[in-house]
Amino acid sequence: MSDLGSEELEEEGENDIGEYEGGRNEAGERHGRGRARLPNGDTYEGSYEFGKRHGQGIYKFKNGARYIGEYVRNKKHGQGTFIYPDGSRYEGEWANDLRHGHGVYYYINNDTYTGEWFAHQRHGQGTYLYAETGSKYVGTWVNGQQEGTAELIHLNHRYQGKFLNKNPVGPGKYVFDVGCEQHGEYRLTDMERGEEEEEEELVTVVPKWKATKITELALWTPTLPKKPTSTDGPGQDAPGAESAGEPGEEAQALLQGFEGEKDMRPGDEDADVLREESREYDQEEFHYDMDEGNINSEEEETRQSDLHD
């Protein structure tokens, strides 16, 4: 899930080489509004200060990429939009030619990332929307990867927990729209290999979900004090008090046959949690796609080839 960077689209420095039309100061430096055609075929139109791009401007690369935004002494700095050769674009804050601060990246497959950036990478709090499925990751990023506390939201259920190296790890829970929560944890296990693969040294580690219990949704509802009536006698409980704090009928049904621990991989069709109350849901959505957050490597190679054309 890597992004193109401005370091791969190097801009020409400003000097007297090349064509220029615009203002100059007493020292003959480019100063004020101007238009330049650089020796490498790139063009710039915008503000100058003491011979450097400074202020608002538009820089167009000969390969079709362009930057529209603020400059400080030849560096992209402040608010700006960068449109890459493959059509993807970044809109947001820049610092010293790097995506830095808050911004939105629009990918060529229509995915989007909205959140914090640090030194050109997704870093901090951010939301990644998967256009194909409508799912989204909302949480922490570290050096471009999904890592830390987060929520993975699907069409009719969500997972809340922690991530490491793009995979869910440790304790967490699935929250279902039918009105219950499944608690458990993800444990990293070695993927089973066939006999022909036994000699290979590489072992694929995958997260495996182990469910422990099901509860009702943890919702808080206010309770008002009840005034005693003539029919209420000592030792009599208010109607419905016997069921206070107990799981409802739906959760009770899901709990039947679910005592103790059972191994369940997200997507298992025979998992107890997918009983009658949740049959309407697509069971494949319970499978955590470890590659879902990765931009296709072919797309990345296409980007790289566009940049070197």
pLDDT tens digits along 174-189:
999 988 999 999 998 7
Using pLDDT thresholds of 50, 70 and 90, give the confidence band for residue 140.
Answer: very high
> For residue 207, what pLDDT is reported?
86
Percent residues over pLDDT 90 in the chain? 55
> For residue 201, what pLDDT is reported?
54
Angle in degrees, CA 136, 137, 143, rounded to 5: 140
Question: One fold for both 17-100 and 109-191+203-218?
Answer: yes
Q: Which CATH topology does 17-100 take?
A: 2.20.110
Run of H or E residues at 253: helix 249-255
Q: Please state, in angstroms and rounded to a whole number, the distance separating the CA atoms of residues 300 and 107.
A: 11
> For residue 103, what pLDDT is reported?
98
Are 203 and 191 in contact by the 8 Å Cβ rule? The answer is: yes
> For residue 309, what pLDDT is reported?
45
Domain extents in the chain: 17-100, 109-191+203-218
Run of H or E residues at 306: helix 297-308
Q: Is the pLDDT assigned to residue 208 strictly greater than 70?
A: yes
Lookup: tokens for 278 = 């949740």
Using pLDDT thresholds of 50, 70 and 90, give the confidence band for residue 202.
Answer: low
Question: What would the pLDDT profile of 243-299 be if each residue is shown by its tens digit?
Answer: 334 444 544 444 443 333 333 333 333 334 333 434 333 333 344 444 444 433 334
Question: What would the pLDDT profile of 113-134 be if each residue is shown by its tens digit?
Answer: 999 999 999 999 999 999 999 9
Q: Please state, in angstroms and rounded to a whole number, the distance separating the CA atoms of residues 122 and 114.
A: 9
109-191+203-218 is classed CATH 2.40.50: no
Q: Under 8 Å CB-to-CB from 81, ≥6 apart: which residues?
A: 67, 68, 69, 89, 90, 91
Q: Among 75-89, 159-173, 224-238, 289-303, which is the least confidently predicted range?
A: 289-303
